[in-house]
């Protein structure tokens, strides 16, 4: 079936003329019509605009377009509702931005357009990317295509669910503490969080500016490499963008052997509370990596125990500053009041959901006079130690391997009343963002009953995406997990 193809497979058929961009888009839209009533991944779809893009791609393909300069020509890709797309709504799954339409394209969106992609749909998420389950959306909870009684992960839950349900050939999300890798693991797809600064953040509605990074969700490692080439590169509109050359990531995919590759297993990540089936799948994945020729060594990240506490000081502090702009004055929701204070208070009180309020209050507190040194400044010092731990580890290994999540997808509502338990869903992913390194998740097995995906996380040194893609591709091609299709796929 057309909607189940990878980007690489679809691109070949588009180039040969066996299918059209319109065919590919209509296959996605038909799949949305079939399953999204159950999955609920999409917040909105502008079908007329998407069809116009597909027709333009078909005209270009008929004229001999595509190839190296336009490798995504005619490929339908969906966007998390946190990326600005000119003429389309961007609401961050929040009531406070209801009705707002973006006047410009995010750089990542502009680069996808330049590569020829057909961009369609706004994907559900935890409000302002604050959450690990998509239950914090102001609209509805997205459900896992493998078991609709369970969450798809978050905050980019709609991105992962749409790809797992084959409603889009790929999607683009954001990762602040695991928001690409965690839902990718729970939905059984590939998710890549690039090095901080590798992909421009211009046009990404900010949650925590020193942690956020844009990245792809795909059905295969090869597709992730293709999208990384399209998304990456210096952008003068983003002051944190790295001015480094972008390699051809697809060149990293040829090797089937991992001989000479050194992989690290983190001593501190061997937790007693991890789900037994997740632990068994992780150990089996390590044995497979060794069978491919990799050398496995134990490494230490001694400050990793403090990562969650550090993250939940720094991220809310940055969020409290970033979200101050949503005040009812310039755009978005406005609830009138007798004075500026009441206008601001009523607008934010009705516009933000409980999790956003919780984090803004926490962030404001840790930045307040008398507490800044005790909390925020100390957290930044611990962050520097966490980054140094990774530097020391990468002096001895080429990549670090961990489970992506400590458990498979949990049931809707299971952790909603316990924010601390919800925060621990990202225990293996948070350190990557604090250190600014790259990380990715790919499928490495399933639980038995119910049958739920399990993810394997690879962490690499800064700008080490090619190393991760090489390791991930060799593992993927030697295992069957990426060929599995969700019941609603």
The number of residues in the chain equals 489
pLDDT digits (tens, 9 = 90+) for 337-360: 998 888 888 989 888 999 999 999
Q: Quick one: how many helices (H) and strands (E) in the chain?
A: 15, 11
Write out pLDDT tens, residues 425-479: 788 999 999 999 999 999 999 999 999 999 999 999 999 999 999 999 999 999 9
pTM score of the predicted model:
0.96
d(CA 202, CA 218): 22
DSSP state, residue 134? S
Catalytic-residue membership of 80: yes
Higher per-residue confidence, 213 vs 368: 213
Query: Does residue 68 have a pLDDT over 80?
Result: no
Q: What's the pLDDT band for 272 if we cut at 50, 70, 90?
A: low
Q: Given this model, what pLDDT does residue 344 score?
A: 85
- How is residue 477 written in tokens? 């091609």
199 within domain boundaries: yes
> Is 179 among the catalytic positions?
yes
Domain residues for 157? 2-259
Could you tell me the pLDDT band of residue 370, with boundaries at 50, 70 and 90? confident
8 part of the active site: no
CA dist 397 and 406 (Å) reads: 23
In a domain, 328, yes or no: no
Q: pLDDT-derived band of residue 420, with 50, 70 and 90 as boundaries?
A: low
The CATH number given to whatever domain includes residue 72 is 3.90.1300.10
Helix ranges restricted to H, 267-377: 276-291, 307-322, 340-351, 354-367
Write the CA distances from 227 to 77, 88, 343, 411, integer angstroms: 10, 22, 43, 32
pLDDT at 274: 85
**Residue 433 belongs to some domain of the structure:** no
Catalytic choice (179, 220, 232, 431): 179
Non-local CB neighbours of 131 within 8 Å, separated by 6+ positions? 154, 155, 355, 422
For residues 457 and 440, the answer to whether their CB atoms sit within 8 Å is: yes
Going by DSSP bridges, is the β-strand pair 213-218/453-460 parallel, antiparallel, or unpaired? unpaired
Does residue 204 lie within any of the structural domains? yes
Quick check: is 376 in a domain? Answer: no
| Domains identified in the chain, total number | 1
Q: Is residue 196 in a domain?
A: yes
User: In this structure, are residues 115 and 73 in contact, taking their beta carbons and an 8 Å threshold?
Assistant: yes
- Residue 337 maps to a domain: no
Q: Which of 8, 80, 133, 137 is catalytic?
A: 80
Residue 296: both structure tokens together = 């496995």
Give residues with Cβ within 8 angstroms of 277, minimum separation 6.
Answer: 408, 445, 447, 448, 454
Share of the chain above pLDDT 90, in %: 87
Cβ atoms within 10 Å of 16's Cβ, excluding its own: 9
Average pLDDT rounded to a whole number, residues 88-117: 97
* pLDDT of amino acid 254: 86
Q: Counting Cβ atoms within 10 Å, is residue 31 exposed (0-12), middle (13-18) or buried (19+)?
A: buried
Q: Which of 130, 132, 93 is nearest to 207 (CA)?
A: 130
Cα pseudo-dihedral 36, 38, 44, 47, rounded to 10: 20
Q: Are 154 and 407 in contact (CB under 8 A)?
A: no
User: Which candidate in 102, 155, 171, 320 is catalytic?
Assistant: 155
Least confident of 221-230, 266-275, 445-454: 266-275
Q: Of 115 and 331, which is predicted with more confidence?
A: 115
Tell me if 220 is assigned to some domain. yes
Mean pLDDT of the chain: 95
pLDDT in tens, 156-167: 999 999 999 999
Quick one: DSSP state of residue 19?
S
Average of per-residue pLDDT across 278-305: 96
Rounded mean pLDDT, 358-370: 92
> Looking at residues 117-140, what average pLDDT do you find?
97
């Amino acid at each position: 079936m057309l909607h189940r193809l990878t980007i690489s497979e679809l691109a070949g058929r588009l180039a040969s003329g066996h299918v059209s961009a319109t065919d590919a888009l209509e296959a996605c839209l038909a799949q949305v019509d079939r399953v999204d009533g159950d999955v609920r991944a999409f917040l909105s779809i502008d079908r007329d605009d998407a069809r116009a893009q597909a027709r333009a791609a078909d005209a270009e393909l008929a004229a001999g377009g595509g190839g190296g300069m336009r490798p995504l020509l005619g490929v339908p890709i969906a966007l998390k509702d946190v990326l600005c797309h000119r003429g389309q709504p961007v609401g961050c799954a929040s009531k406070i931005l209801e009705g707002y339409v973006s006047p410009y394209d995010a750089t990542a969106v502009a680069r996808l357009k330049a590569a020829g992609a057909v961009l369609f749909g706004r994907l559900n998420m935890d409000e302002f990317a604050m959450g690990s389950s998509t239950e914090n959306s102001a609209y509805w909870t997205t459900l896992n295509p493998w078991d609709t009684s369970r969450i798809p992960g978050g905050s980019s839950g709609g991105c992962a669910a749409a790809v797992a349900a084959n409603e889009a050939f790929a999607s683009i999300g954001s990762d602040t503490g695991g928001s690409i890798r965690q839902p990718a693991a729970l939905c059984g797809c590939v998710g890549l969080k690039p090095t901080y600064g590798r992909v421009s953040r211009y046009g990404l509605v900010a949650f925590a500016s020193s942690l956020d990074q844009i990245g792809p969700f795909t059905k295969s490692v090869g597709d992730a490499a293709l999208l990384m080439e399209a998304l990456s590169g210096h952008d003068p509109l983003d002051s944190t963008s790295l001015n480094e050359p972008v390699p051809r990531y697809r060149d990293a995919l040829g090797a089937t052997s991992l001989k000479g590759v050194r992989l690290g297993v983190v001593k501190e990540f061997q937790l007693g509370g991890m789900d037994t089936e997740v632990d068994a799948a992780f150990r089996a994945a390590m044995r497979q990596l060794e069978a491919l020729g990799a050398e496995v060594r134990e490494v230490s990240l001694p400050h990793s125990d403090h990562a969650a506490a550090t993250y939940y000081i720094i991220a809310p502090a940055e969020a409290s500053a970033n979200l101050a702009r949503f005040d009812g004055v310039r755009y978005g929701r406005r609830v009138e009041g007798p004075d500026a204070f009441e206008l601001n208070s009523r607008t934010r009180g009705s516009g933000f959901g409980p999790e956003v309020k919780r984090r803004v209050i926490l962030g404001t507190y840790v930045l307040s006079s008398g507490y800044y040194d005790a909390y925020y400044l100390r957290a930044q010092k611990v962050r520097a130690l966490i980054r140094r731990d990774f530097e020391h580890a990468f002096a001895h290994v080429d990549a670090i391997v961990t489970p992506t999540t400590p458990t498979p997808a949990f049931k809707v509502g299971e952790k909603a009343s316990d924010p601390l338990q919800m925060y621990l869903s990202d225990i293996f992913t948070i350190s990557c963002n604090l250190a600014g390194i790259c990380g990715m998740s790919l499928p490495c097995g399933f639980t038995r009953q119910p049958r739920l995906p399990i993810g394997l996380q690879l962490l690499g040194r800064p700008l080490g995406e090619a190393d991760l893609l090489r390791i991930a591709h060799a593992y993927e091609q030697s295992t069957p997990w990426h060929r599995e299709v969700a019941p609603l796929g």
